[in-house]
Amino acid sequence: MADPAMATVFGCSSLTQFLDFGRERRLPLRGPETQALRAQVLETGTIAGFEVHTRRLDGSSLWLSVSASLVRDSEGRPIALEGTLEDITSRKQVEKRLHQTEESYRSIFEHVQTGIFQTTPSGKYLAANPALARIYGYDSPKELMATLTDIGSMLYVVPARRREFQQLLHATGHVCDFEYQVYRKDGRAIWVSKHAWAVRDESGGIRCYEGTVRDISKRKLAEDDLRQAERKYQSIFENSLDGIFQTSIDGQYLSANPALARIYGFSSPQELMDHLTDISGQLYSDPGRRQAFRDVLAQHGSVSEFESEVRRKDGSLIWISESAWEVRGQAGELLHYEGLVQDITTRKSVEDQLRHQAFHDALTGLPNRLLFMDRLEWAIHRTQRKSKYRFAVFFLDLDRFKVVNDSLGHLAGDALLVEVAARLKKALRPMDSVARFGGDEFAVLVDDITGTLDATHVLSRLREELGKPIIIQGRQVFTSASIGVVLKTWVYDRPEQVVRDADIAMYRAKALGKARYEVYDSSMHLAATSLLQLETDLRNALEFDELRLHYQPIVDIHTGDIKGFEALVRWEHPRRGLIAPAEFIPMAEETGMILPLGRWVLREACRQLAAWQTLKPTNPPLSMSVNISARQFGDIELIGEIRQILEETMIPPESLKLEITESKVMENAEFAVRMLTHLKGLGVRISIDDFGTGYSSLAYLHSFPLDCLKIDRSFVDKMGDGQDSSNIVAAIVGLAHSLGLEVVAEGVEVGGQREALQGFSCQLAQGFLFSRPVPGVEAEALLVLGSCQP
Ligand code: C2E
Ligand code: CA
Ligand code: CA
């Protein structure tokens, strides 16, 4: 039996169809549920709300809720089931969907990496997911929930944080990024961040908290590191000895450290930043320096050891070295500059000193050869570029430096050089340079001259300055220089060539009698090379016996009787023939070869005299005059040498006359007196040679132990012509006689001179009028004759 509604439940249009549907064994209530239902009914006799899954006629799924009871016959045997069926398919479908959704949430809850919790306001867990358990170090959510029964005291490292969290949550209903530290199960503290919201009941009271938890320990550690690094950098910034800065592109300070303030003379970085508002204008002594700095930065992105002179707060100047770099933003735009500053003033000044030392002469402070050559090179460049530009070069060598040095000592020599340097500087114009080349050699660059006249002006000023007496160690010393001049400087392209030619010209000036200048011309080069050759040759001359002595008679001016001879050296050069002393004596003097040469002359002259005295004994005996150079006179050994020669030759000492020029004597009067006294002690006689050419002061004649004056040839020469010097000669003769000195007139060439001299009662004469200097044999012939008659 079935009611028609039942047919509808099963999707049948009529009861008949429903009955057919059941009969065709497609019974709507079959399957395991039906078996279970039947079993239960048989046992209990009734069933209520039993849910059965079956199908409708069209095969679609149908859920039924069955309530039924067993119908029995009179004997109690079950004969039928009687009850109702309710179609619960749609409810079942909703339930199923709900279950599915829950399943998927549960899956998220179970598998998500973020911790998810539900807790009571009192601090107990209602739910926790595996991720939360993992974060807190528990094996399972269950373990976590069982263990942490009071969150505030058991989980939070700082329990007060939980209260803060709750206050926030209660006030606003949710909390974001709440960071705090918790204890894990193993006791280790970690940092977590939580999002949470309050879940309220119908009445608005808070039922529970829900939310998520993330482990942010790693981030916190990184933050810590960052903070530490920041602290470290802060400390470096504060305590660094180097100045550290950040500046804007337009030259403002963005930050500065204490060291920078110190370097620039400010009491604090703040003061520095307040004061220095325009770096390019206020800081750098050269206003263009900041731009140069920025240019390098722009080109390379950084700059290292950029050295500049800057002004400190008090206005003093210091040197700094900057290393800086650009700081750019995300998009590559230039934000500002950063960098370091070192105070390198001390280093700079040491460097300056070293550079100065490298380019200057320590004694005089003048530039040295190196610097001079550099300037000379510049001048040559300028000549090549600017056609109107001209310069001249002088090369100076002091004439008597060695004498001063040897006789007065090195200190005096040094003092002389210092004084000479000062005088050279004084005589020059500001644009000229003077350098010491070493020893007593100086070079002068006369810059930017318009012509020869300019150079000559400078030259005469130089000579004038040098001509003034110099007081050294309380003594008056006279100095002069031989100067080589190069005027045609435009023909050169190397500085060495200019100096070489100036040197050649100087050598020439020296050879021509010192205290003079010579202008270089190309013929000198040849002469110089031969001069150099000569110097080498002269070294051999002594050894190969190439020196000769010629003798010039000194006669009684009235009778022409030979009273003595002057020994004059000649050099019989194997290729060049006879060379006059003027050509090699200055060189021998300069090189020191004069000492052995002079010894040879002395010995040879005395040997010859001894022979002639024997040949022609007279009363007083025949005399021999020998020239003594400055160098020889400055050499104390001379005394011993003469003593030995006198002993060897056995001539009476008073027949040897030493001729010394007055300038040689005057160079160092005190020494001269001592030397002369020693020589006099040997018994020899002293002649002042070339008298009248050196010092105008005759006062010294009194203080020196002298025997004879030789009136210089130049006076004799001028007697009787336009510029009559007769008066002077007369005065000299008178003076000499009043001092008890013998007088010899030199260079008597003509009879008129002889007569004039006779008139002044001059006793002795020497000159071509009587005889030229002649070789020993010829002199001997004259001697045998006994007199020289013009
Ligand atoms: P001095 O000592 O003044 O020698 C005299 C010079 O005048 C000699 O030149 C001689 O030849 C020259 N003379 C003599 N009478 C006349 C004359 O009437 N007219 C002219 N015009 N000249 C005359 P000399 O021999 O060429 O010597 C030049 C200089 O070389 C000497 O000048 C002397 O300073 C130096 N000298 C020569 N021999 C020696 C020497 O053995 N040792 C040193 N240290 N110097 C010497
Ligand atoms: Ca002489
Ligand atoms: Ca002379």
- Nearest atom of ligand 1 to the alpha carbon of 748: 18
Rounded distance from Cα 711 to ligand 3 centre (Å): 8
User: What's the whole-number mean pLDDT along residues 321-343?
Assistant: 92
Whether the per-residue pLDDT at 27 is higher than 60: the answer is: no
**Of 33 and 274, the one with more pLDDT:** 274
Rounded distance from Cα 584 to ligand 1 centre (Å): 12
CB of 28 closer than 6 A to ligand 1?
A: no
CB 272 within 8 A of CB 262: no
Question: Which residue minimizes the CA distance to atom 43 of ligand 1?
Answer: 627
Rounded distance from Cα 627 to ligand 2 centre (Å): 5
Residue 320 token pair = 């700094």
Q: Which helix (H) or strand (E) holds 311?
A: strand 302-311
- Nearest atom of ligand 1 to the alpha carbon of 601: 41
CB of 569 closer than 6 A to ligand 1?
A: yes
User: What's the whole-number mean pLDDT along residues 116-129?
Assistant: 94
Looking at the CA of 774, which ligand is closest?
Answer: 1
pLDDT band for position 154 (cuts 50, 70, 90): very high
CB 207 within 8 A of CB 222: no
Three-class SS string for 330-383?
CCCCEEEEEEEEEECHHHHHHHHHHHHHHHECCCCCCECHHHHHHHHHHHHHHH
* Residue given tokens 């003092």 in the structure block: 415
Mutational pocket test of ligand 1: of 566, 568, 584, 690, the residue with most ligand atoms within 8 Å of the beta carbon: 568
d(C-alpha 758, C-alpha 765), whole Å = 10
CB 246 within 8 A of CB 336: yes
d(C-alpha 588, C-alpha 597), whole Å = 8
Pick from 581, 594, 602, 583: which is nearest to 403 by CA? 594
pLDDT at res. 387: 78
For 332, phi and psi rounded to 5 degrees?
Answer: 85, 5
Mutational pocket test of ligand 1: of 557, 593, 601, 627, the residue with most ligand atoms within 8 Å of the beta carbon: 627
Looking at the CA of 628, which ligand is closest?
Answer: 1
Whether the per-residue pLDDT at 307 is higher than 50: the answer is: yes
pTM higher than the cut 0.85: no
* Residue given tokens 């003469």 in the structure block: 642
pLDDT at res. 604: 97
Rounded distance from Cα 693 to ligand 3 centre (Å): 10
- The protein residues having their C-beta less than 5 angstroms from ligand 3 (an ion) are 689-690, 746
| Residue 353 CA: distances (Å) to CA of 252, 319, 652 | 35, 15, 64
Burial class (CB in 10 A: 0-12, 13-18, 19+), 352: exposed
Q: Which of 516-525, 607-616, 680-689, 754-763 has the lowest mean pLDDT?
A: 516-525
CB of 771 closer than 6 A to ligand 1?
A: no
d(C-alpha 631, C-alpha 501), whole Å = 27
CB 460 within 8 A of CB 451: no
Pick from 479, 531, 466: which is nearest to 504 by CA? 531
What's the pLDDT tens digit per position in 189-215? 999 999 999 999 888 889 999 999 999
User: What's the whole-number mean pLDDT along residues 293-301?
Assistant: 90
* Residue given tokens 């204008």 in the structure block: 281
For 406, phi and psi rounded to 5 degrees?
Answer: -75, -40
d(C-alpha 359, C-alpha 366), whole Å = 9
- Nearest atom of ligand 1 to the alpha carbon of 746: 15
CB of 586 closer than 6 A to ligand 1?
A: no
Rounded distance from Cα 539 to ligand 1 centre (Å): 22
d(C-alpha 44, C-alpha 171), whole Å = 58
CB of 747 closer than 6 A to ligand 1?
A: yes
pLDDT at res. 30: 60
List, in sequence order, the alpha helices (H) in 512-593: 522-543, 581-591
Rounded distance from Cα 627 to ligand 1 centre (Å): 9
Question: Which residue minimizes the CA distance to atom 37 of ligand 1?
Answer: 568
Rounded distance from Cα 633 to ligand 2 centre (Å): 14
Beta partners for residue 62, in sequence order: 54
d(C-alpha 647, C-alpha 602), whole Å = 13
Whether the per-residue pLDDT at 701 is higher than 80: the answer is: no
Q: Which of 34-43, 150-159, 161-170, 582-591 has the lowest mean pLDDT?
A: 34-43
Pick from 122, 116, 120, 130: which is nearest to 211 by CA? 116
d(C-alpha 397, C-alpha 593), whole Å = 18
Quote the Cα angle for 189-191-194, to 5°.
130
User: What's the whole-number mean pLDDT along residues 324-350?
Assistant: 90
Residue 588 token pair = 């021998």
Pick from 60, 32, 27, 33: which is nearest to 49 by CA? 33
CB of 717 closer than 6 A to ligand 1?
A: no
Collect all residues with Cβ–Cβ distance below 8 Å to 237 and sequence separation of at least 6. Answer: 244, 257
pLDDT at res. 512: 79
CB of 785 closer than 6 A to ligand 1?
A: no
For 435, phi and psi rounded to 5 degrees?
Answer: -135, 150
Whether the per-residue pLDDT at 278 is higher than 50: the answer is: yes
- Nearest atom of ligand 1 to the alpha carbon of 594: 44
Helix, strand or coil for residue 202?
coil
Looking at the CA of 551, which ligand is closest?
Answer: 1
Three-class SS string for 593-618?
CHHHHHHHHHHHHHHHHHHHHHHCCC
Question: Which residue minimizes the CA distance to atom 8 of ligand 1?
Answer: 568
Rounded distance from Cα 627 to ligand 3 centre (Å): 9
| Residue 383 CA: distances (Å) to CA of 390, 432, 452 | 6, 15, 15
CA 452, 457, 463, 466 torsion-angle sign: negative
Residue 640 token pair = 């011993």
Q: Compute the CA torsion angle 420, 423, 424, 425 (nearest 10 deg).
A: 130
User: Which DSSP category does 235 fall into?
Assistant: H
Q: Which of 528-542, 554-568, 756-770 has the lowest mean pLDDT?
A: 528-542
Question: Which residue minimizes the CA distance to atom 20 of ligand 1?
Answer: 747
CB 724 within 8 A of CB 523: no
CB neighbourhood size of 319 (10 A): 19
Beta partners for residue 774, in sequence order: 551
| Residue 238 CA: distances (Å) to CA of 252, 268, 271, 715 | 20, 11, 15, 89
Mutational pocket test of ligand 1: of 514, 538, 572, 585, the residue with most ligand atoms within 8 Å of the beta carbon: 585
Rounded distance from Cα 173 to ligand 3 centre (Å): 130
- Nearest atom of ligand 1 to the alpha carbon of 710: 3
Pick from 703, 708, 710, 645: which is nearest to 677 by CA? 703
Rounded distance from Cα 746 to ligand 2 centre (Å): 9
| Residue 490 CA: distances (Å) to CA of 379, 497, 518, 688 | 10, 12, 18, 47
d(C-alpha 660, C-alpha 523), whole Å = 34
Cis amide bond preceding 596, omega within 30: no
pLDDT at res. 490: 86
- Across all residues in the chain, what is the average pLDDT? 89
pLDDT band for position 7 (cuts 50, 70, 90): confident
Residue 408 token pair = 């007065």
Rounded distance from Cα 530 to ligand 1 centre (Å): 23
CB of 256 closer than 6 A to ligand 1?
A: no
Look at strands 475-477 and 481-486 and give their pairing. unpaired
User: What's the whole-number mean pLDDT along residues 395-409?
Assistant: 85
Rounded distance from Cα 724 to ligand 2 centre (Å): 24
Rounded distance from Cα 554 to ligand 1 centre (Å): 13
Q: Which of 244-258, 265-279, 341-355, 566-580 has the lowest mean pLDDT?
A: 341-355
User: What's the whole-number mean pLDDT along residues 353-359?
Assistant: 83
Whether the per-residue pLDDT at 25 is higher than 90: the answer is: no
Rounded distance from Cα 472 to ligand 3 centre (Å): 29
User: What's the whole-number mean pLDDT along residues 751-763?
Assistant: 91
What's the pLDDT tens digit per position in 603-612? 999 999 999 9
What's the pLDDT tens digit per position in 575-600? 888 999 988 898 888 778 899 999 99
User: What's the whole-number mean pLDDT along residues 240-268?
Assistant: 92
User: What's the whole-number mean pLDDT along residues 304-319?
Assistant: 94
* Residue given tokens 């001729």 in the structure block: 659
- Nearest atom of ligand 1 to the alpha carbon of 632: 44
What's the pLDDT tens digit per position in 639-676? 999 999 999 999 999 999 999 987 766 667 788 889 99
Helix, strand or coil for residue 209?
strand
**Of 326 and 408, the one with more pLDDT:** 326
Dihedral-angle region of residue 490 (phi above 0 means left; psi in -120 to 50 means alpha; beta otherwise) = alpha
pLDDT at res. 696: 44
Whether the per-residue pLDDT at 342 is higher than 60: the answer is: yes
d(C-alpha 517, C-alpha 309), whole Å = 46
Q: Which of 432-441, 543-552, 655-664, 748-757 has the lowest mean pLDDT?
A: 655-664
375: number of CA atoms within 13 Å, CB side? 21
pLDDT at res. 131: 94
pLDDT at res. 722: 52
Whether the per-residue pLDDT at 695 is higher than 60: the answer is: no
Looking at the CA of 586, which ligand is closest?
Answer: 1
What's the pLDDT tens digit per position in 417-465? 999 999 999 999 888 999 999 899 999 999 888 777 788 888 989 999 9
Whether the per-residue pLDDT at 93 is higher than 50: the answer is: yes
CB of 581 closer than 6 A to ligand 1?
A: yes
